[in-house]
Amino acid sequence: MARMPHAACGHSCSMTDRSHGIPPNELSDDDLRREVAHLHETRHDTLLGGSESALEAHTERMLTLEREFLRRFPEDSAPDPQRTRAGSREHAGQSVPGRDLGSAPA
């Protein structure tokens, strides 16, 4: 049985279609990091110059890779404390609602 061309693929597809790359859960840690970095590098060009289907495919791939990245590397994706309101206020010596900065209760 011959494979039929599929519009979303632009070529013949099979049950193991990898037209959007290797599934993120099958990538090594290094390959996952490299794939995420590459997609972020190409995002702007895809947004401005890509077709609607290219942008849709790019977005879908980016989101699946980012979900896998967050699952594998939660410590790498935690925000820098100074990039949060509480961390920035604490760094500036301001009071932080819900935190005791060492002052004794009245």
How high is the pLDDT of residue 87?
Answer: 81
How high is the pLDDT of residue 68?
Answer: 97
How high is the pLDDT of residue 59?
Answer: 96
- Series of mean pLDDT values for 10-residue runs along the chain (106 residues): 38 50 96 96 96 96 96 88 82 80 53
How high is the pLDDT of residue 90?
Answer: 82
Alpha helices in the chain (DSSP H): 29-49, 52-72, 85-91
| Domain layout of the chain by residue ranges | 23-73
Measured distance CA(65)–CA(76) in Å, rounded: 14
Q: What is the pTM of this model?
A: 0.62
Do residues 10 and 19 touch, judged by C-beta distance below 8 A? yes
How high is the pLDDT of residue 104?
Answer: 52
E strand segments, the chain: 5-6, 11-12
How high is the pLDDT of residue 103?
Answer: 53
How high is the pLDDT of residue 93?
Answer: 87
Q: What are the phi and psi torsion angles at 65 (to 5°)? A: -65, -40
Taken as a whole, the chain contains a residue count of 106
